[in-house]
Amino acid sequence: MKVSLNWLKDYIDVQLDPETISETLTGTGLEVEGMEEVESIPGGLNGVVVGKVVECGQHPNADRLSLTKVDIGNGEPLSIVCGAPNVAAGQKVMVATVGTTLHPIEGDPLTLKKGKIRGEVSEGMICAEDELGLGVDHSGIMVLPEETPVGQTARDYFNIQTDYIYEIGLTPNRSDATNHIGVARDLAAALKINHDHDGNLSWPSVEEFKIDNNELPVEVVVENTEACPRYTGVSIEGVTIQESPDWLKQRLLAIDVRPINNIVDITNFVLHELGQPLHAFDLDAINGQKIIVKTLPAGSTFVSLDEVERKLDAEDLMICDGDSNGMCIGGVFGGINSGVKDTTRNIFLESAHFDPQYIRRSSMRHNLRTDAAKVFEKGSDPNITLYALKRAALLIKELGGGTIASEIVDIYPNPISEKEIEVAYSYVNDLIGVEISPEKVRAILEAMEMTVVKEDEDRFTVSIPTNKADVLRPADVVEEILRIFGFNNVPIANQIRSAMVISPKPDPGVVKNAIGDLLSANGFFEMMGLSLSESRYYRDLLPSIPAEKLVYINNTSNVQLDIMRPSMVFSGLEAILHNQNRQRSDVKLYEFGRSYQADGEGFEEINHLTLFLSGQRYPESWLNTDKSEMSYYTLKAYVRQVLERVGLDRYQETDLQDETFQYGLRYHRGPQVIVEFGRLSGRLVKGMGIKQAVYYADFNWDTILKSLRKQDVSMQELNKYPRVRRDLALVVGNSVKFNDIASIAKQLSKKILREVNLFDVYVNEEQLGADKKSYAVSFVFEDYTKTLKDKEIDKVMERLIKTYETQLGALIRR
């Protein structure tokens, strides 16, 4: 955001140098990211002087060019070729001499050189308004009053001033500082507290505002008061659309706002002065002289000011005419037909407060990041709309003529009052880290126009102005106090004290979050089941857990939940049933939780991680031809991923013989169970009313954490020697598992074997025989010290083949 120092000085008397002001603004949280010394007209018009056209004739080689002689008061008149249609002898004009650099409104800077135009010498340029950077008019050269003295510099004629422009990195929460008055408020408060300034602000007066007549009343209906809590407006008749005066154009140009005409320039000026966006409608284009503030049906079309037809969303707040035709996207962008035009004579001036969320959504939805939208989406002040309306109306009367032709419309059904926040003085000092007296706190709050409405020795209650939309809680009040007190006034301690925090290794929270992230990234949803369960589950469906191991509780609020869950399985089945009953049959869930069992005179609590899979592997889609359901192998892949993520790769494998499972595996280290997983028994699943297969994994989380304490982390650089792959096809009995094949390979070739992978299984009784199957297995070898030779690999493969033949009765297919 750009802020002009000269503009600030309209409201606050400050004599500090620009650098000190920059530091003060930064200290209040308005970080000055850059400061530039500029002139009210770019380049200062150095080299441009007043001249008199003493001769003007036709260019001999061009019909649209004139040859002129121009006296600039330093002796011999200059020969200048001019293309303007309105140039004539006797005129007083602005002349840019050779060597002058001009900064036109559009285009790059232009440095004048002496040269020939169509064969005739030209020693300068007679300038139009846009060429001098004063406006947009390029219809002809500027013609000055006859009494203008020849030779006067443009700098003196236009009273060009030096200014300092601050580039402020405004944070999204600072809704109160989107304008010059807002910045001046903070500056005045900081100067009053820290620089013995009186802290007074000079607000523009609106006391002269009065209603001249009521000939052009406009009816306003606000249908959506949530999106538009306050709407004010007034009619002005008989205005003249014309160029703005120099002072107004210079104010806007200083902050890179392009002047357009007096009415539009005034609305932009008030926006950057007070932080209140305004919109001027051509009153004669408002059908029925009625305005309706509402939303239109989704898909309605609206042609905006940039001549783009836009399709509206059902949440876009529209300013409509009496026939419900959209004239403006409220708070965001005007329409092509309702705005001020050169022929406009009567206007309706709008000053409203819109809900930030509505504005933000519409602005982003239509990619219209206007200055007004940026203010509204931060949260404008609902209680400044009327003042801003009067301020703009008086300026329009002053600069465009006209009279106030209606009563002020002010629709404000639910006035927004100032919030009151209670804060303890001790909380202020604790949060800031320095002792600030209650007197100092009160002085700072008063300097910021925040009234203390209640106070005792320990705490105070402060009323928050409605322009500070971000001050919602005690911590925000303390931040306001600190901004004005000064961050630099908080002393830096000579000593920094810290406490050593030793976390367990491994840190259970870190491991849990890592696995949760892994499962969530694979499409799982985390669930949290009740630790309470129903004893009937274990009586009717899972009697392998005897009654004496159940931990009963006296639950008077829900007598069915009468035990602490001894197993995690029913929590997940209840969640799957809940989803199934709501037509969500494809489920991937995980849960971290505890089971509880009675153990003699005490109790045993075990931490678990459980996985549940049911339904199709992939969502239904016309792009997806894989309609397969989740299976035991789907679950096994996720189990292996979890173990790989925590670094557990050495364990034994045993078939499950458990009534919980129809089939499955147990990974363990001796008696320590790491995980049990497989397909849940049909008795459990059907007993719960679930209509499809469910796959379940139960990790003993306590065992995993204990195992991780013994894990060493090691790193190894990438091998520069190539890997070698060999494949074998083995015909084995149905009782032989791939794990048997992999275990033998790892025992026989520990040093160079890196991977064993099963990539095909083939079953055909006619070709292989009864109870036979063929495994296609790949072996990957690698040595970190050298390139492996075929002879070395062949020896290993021969040993493998012989071992498979003798121990597994395998037939090697060649």
Q: How far apart are CA 407 and CA 215, in angstroms?
A: 9
- Judge whether 578 and 689 are in contact, CB under 8 Å: no
pLDDT of residue 172: 84
> What does the block give as tokens for 152?
């006067």
Compute φ and ψ for 534, nearest 5 degrees: -110, 130
- Judge whether 374 and 178 are in contact, CB under 8 Å: yes
Is 223 annotated as contributing to ligand binding?
A: no
Q: How far apart are CA 352 and CA 331, in angstroms?
A: 8
Q: Report the DSSP pairing between strands 219-222 and 290-295.
A: parallel
- Judge whether 246 and 160 are in contact, CB under 8 Å: no
Q: Which domains does the chain have, with CATH numbers?
A: 2-40+162-194 (3.30.56.10), 42-157 (2.40.50.140), 219-411 (3.50.40.10), 421-488 (3.30.56.10), 508-708 (3.30.930.10), 724-813 (3.30.70.380)
Q: How far apart are CA 55 and CA 69, in angstroms?
A: 5
Positions of the chain with pLDDT under 70: 709-713
- Judge whether 285 and 338 are in contact, CB under 8 Å: yes
- Judge whether 145 and 115 are in contact, CB under 8 Å: no
pLDDT of residue 55: 93
Q: How far apart are CA 267 and CA 245, in angstroms?
A: 14
Q: How far apart are CA 458 and CA 452, in angstroms?
A: 14
> What does the block give as tokens for 699?
């990790």
pLDDT (tens digit per residue) in 483-524? 999 888 888 877 777 787 777 778 888 999 999 999 999 999
| DSSP alpha helix (H) spans, 317-416 | 356-365, 371-378, 385-400
Please confirm whether the linkage preceding 18 is cis (ω < 30° from 0). Answer: no
pLDDT of residue 336: 87
Q: How far apart are CA 659 and CA 678, in angstroms?
A: 11
Compute φ and ψ for 445, nearest 5 degrees: -65, -40
- Judge whether 267 and 281 are in contact, CB under 8 Å: no
Element (H, E) at 27: helix 18-27
**pTM of the full predicted structure?**
0.59
Is 476 annotated as contributing to ligand binding?
A: yes
Is 156 annotated as contributing to ligand binding?
A: no
Return all residues near 517 (Cβ < 8 A) that are at least 6 apart.
none
In terms of Cα–Cα distance, which of 401, 121, 53 is closest to 237?
401
Three-class HEC string of 527-570: CCCCCEECHHHHHHCCCCCCHHHCEECCCCCCCCCCEECCCCHH
Q: How far apart are CA 207 and CA 776, in angstroms?
A: 94
- Judge whether 764 and 772 are in contact, CB under 8 Å: no
Is 470 annotated as contributing to ligand binding?
A: yes
pLDDT of residue 492: 80
Burial 242-269 (b: 16+ CB within 10 A, else e): ebbebebbbbbbbbebebbbbbbbbbbb
Q: How far apart are CA 43 and CA 102, in angstroms?
A: 7
